[in-house]
Amino acid sequence: MSAIFGRKGVEAIAAVVAVRASNAKRHFPRYGPSAMSDAQSDLIAAAGGRLGPKVVVTDPADIEPWLSDWRGRVHGQARAMLAPSSTEEVVEIVRLAAEHRVPLVPQGGNTGMAAGATPPADGSALLLSLRRMNRIRSVSADNRLAIAEAGVILATLHDAAHEIGMRFPLTLGARGSCTIGGLTSTNAGGTQVLRFGTMRALVAGVEAVLPDGSIHDGLSGLKKDNRGYSLDQLLIGAEGTLGVVTAVALRLVPAIAARAVAWAGVGSPSDALALLRWLEARTSAIEGFELVPEDSLALVLNHIHGTRPPLANKQPWNVLIEATTADSAKDISAELEALLGEALKAGLIRDAVIAANEGQADAFWHLRDSISEAERAEGPTLAHDISVPVADMPDFIGAAAAQVERAFPGVIATGFGHLGDGNIHFHVRAATHASPDWYDREGAAITRMVDDLVTAAGGSISAEHGIGQLKLAEFARLAPPGRIHALRAIKQALDPLGIMNPGKLI
């Protein structure tokens, strides 16, 4: 760890240490509204003087679009949005925040699903937007690394890697808006986790400004480094509660030479998992394997313009399979076709089709990616992003859906998504003609039931999306006490003033 301290920084850190002692008995400080507002005014004035109007945005019209979460369910307030363009500016802002005891809410593309980047409704925090930190500092095929600043959009990183014949192998539906800092801070997953893992596996190191204004520089991307606790790993998935991620070293793999995308019909989730294991025993090329129930496919075909069923006959369950190769001499389509032919003969699948071209491959993915949109068009839906041990997932989907549908007559429960990761989106749709207050009437009870079932199955109530604000209460209710105690101790040790994204995660 290295630190950059100017004179003012040393003063700020001395203040942090002094307050740490006086805070020993309580977790995080609370300030009255007028003290809060004076402190914010002082910070805004000081930051404006030192960093200028590009960094300190106070026009409500510029701030407004960033005050609500992606789904538009949670709304916050902030008097200013601080938008640094360099790590040094982030240091300056964090020191001022510590000095004036003003909490900061880091924000990237604001595509997170747990309202982690939405400021509190009482206006007690300022937004810290990392979107202007959008340089790719380096990209190297020899090191197999890219170093990207926190505000770099995922799609931009994909393009930069592609230009040197490499690939950053994590992708998801929000790739045109989400940022490297946000992906790192939520430990995002996506559709290629099966082969390459989540951000945790793909981040080689993190540069971050810690709550005392010091810089943790982990960008060297060392493959071997056993100097004790890994701060990089601690910051991944921390949801902005332990520091501000300013840049990330990301692992690259050789670019894809070709891909094959297939759609197959199977009898059940358990048949789907058997198919995946069968394929994996015969090829290492499978990197996407998404489960799609008939009911979800029907909704997409009904509501999403221009979509068509891939197979001639309806199947109870479907899987979208993607196989890739970096070897241009290999005919990956022929390989997948031959394997699916064998799987058909072996009775593992009922039907299958391979995309004839890239347009058709994209159309198959579009069906999968449109499920949530189609559900919203159908009516109110409760989304649960959950995981259980992979082998237990097929039974879990059936049993949990039956139990929820029995307890809440009329609702439709189903699971779709990343079956091979033991992670599905367990969605519960309101009964037809449900009144608009359905979320308020039944939502919490349904979610409690789903979360209880997941916990009883040894799973996680947040597989990919984090805790943020939306899962805070359920996390506190269901997490083992030891886990919560350890998280609190880490938070208290690194952020004793509670200035980093308060009210999120813990």
**Residue 109 interacting with ligand FAD (CB under 6 A):** yes
**Residue 203 interacting with ligand FAD (CB under 6 A):** no
**Residue 148 interacting with ligand FAD (CB under 6 A):** no
CB of 76 to ligand FAD, least distance (A): 12
Torsion angles phi and psi, residue 88, rounded to 5: -60, -40
Q: Which of 207, 239, 442, 451 binds ligand FAD (CB under 6 A)?
A: 239
Q: Please give the residues from 164 up to 183 whose contact with ligand FAD meets the rule CB under 6 A.
A: 172-174, 178-179, 181-183
**Residue 120 interacting with ligand FAD (CB under 6 A):** no
Q: Give CB contacts under 8 A, 24+ apart, made by 352-358.
A: 352/262, 352/263, 352/264, 352/265, 352/311, 353/262, 353/263, 353/264, 353/310, 353/311, 354/260, 354/261, 354/262, 355/260, 355/261, 355/262, 355/263
Contact 384, 372 (CB under 8 A): no
Task: Report the residue closest to ligand FAD, judged by CB.
Answer: 182
- The owner of tokens 């040393």 is 10
Q: Which of 87, 124, 186, 370 binds ligand FAD (CB under 6 A)?
A: 186
Dump the DSSP string for 89-123. Answer: HHHHHHHHHHHHT--EEEESSS--SS-TTSPPTT-
- Binding pattern to ligand FAD, positions 341-360, x when CB under 6 A? --------------------
CB of 312 to ligand FAD, least distance (A): 29
CB of 341 to ligand FAD, least distance (A): 30
**Residue 240 interacting with ligand FAD (CB under 6 A):** yes
| Closest by Cα among 371, 329, 330, 333 to 352 | 333
CB of 355 to ligand FAD, least distance (A): 21
**Residue 494 interacting with ligand FAD (CB under 6 A):** no
Total residues at the site for ligand FAD (CB under 6 A)? 36
**Residue 474 interacting with ligand FAD (CB under 6 A):** no
CB count within 10 Å of CB 3 equals 14
Dump the DSSP string for 147-189. Answer: EEETT-BHHHHHHHHHHTTEE-----TTTTT-BHHHHHHTT--
CB count within 10 Å of CB 167 equals 20
CB of 282 to ligand FAD, least distance (A): 27
CB of 342 to ligand FAD, least distance (A): 30
Q: How far apart are CA 83 and CA 365, in angstroms?
A: 35
**Residue 116 interacting with ligand FAD (CB under 6 A):** yes
Q: Which residues partner with 381 through β-bridges?
A: 429
CB of 285 to ligand FAD, least distance (A): 21
Whichever of 66 and 408 has its CB closer to ligand FAD, that residue is 66
Q: How far apart are CA 193 and CA 200, in angstroms?
A: 11
**Residue 443 interacting with ligand FAD (CB under 6 A):** no
CA distance from start to end of the chain: 25
What kind and span of H or E run contains 400?
helix 393-407
**Residue 462 interacting with ligand FAD (CB under 6 A):** no
Stretch that binds ligand FAD, among 272-280, 333-341, 452-460, 463-471 (CB under 6 A): 463-471
Q: Which of 80, 166, 210, 245 binds ligand FAD (CB under 6 A)?
A: 245
Report CA dihedral (252, 255, 259, 261) to the nearest 10 degrees. Answer: 30
**Residue 237 interacting with ligand FAD (CB under 6 A):** no
Residues that bind ligand FAD (CB under 6 A): 70, 105-113, 116-117, 130, 150, 172-174, 178-179, 181-183, 185-186, 188-190, 239-240, 244-245, 464-465, 468, 501, 504
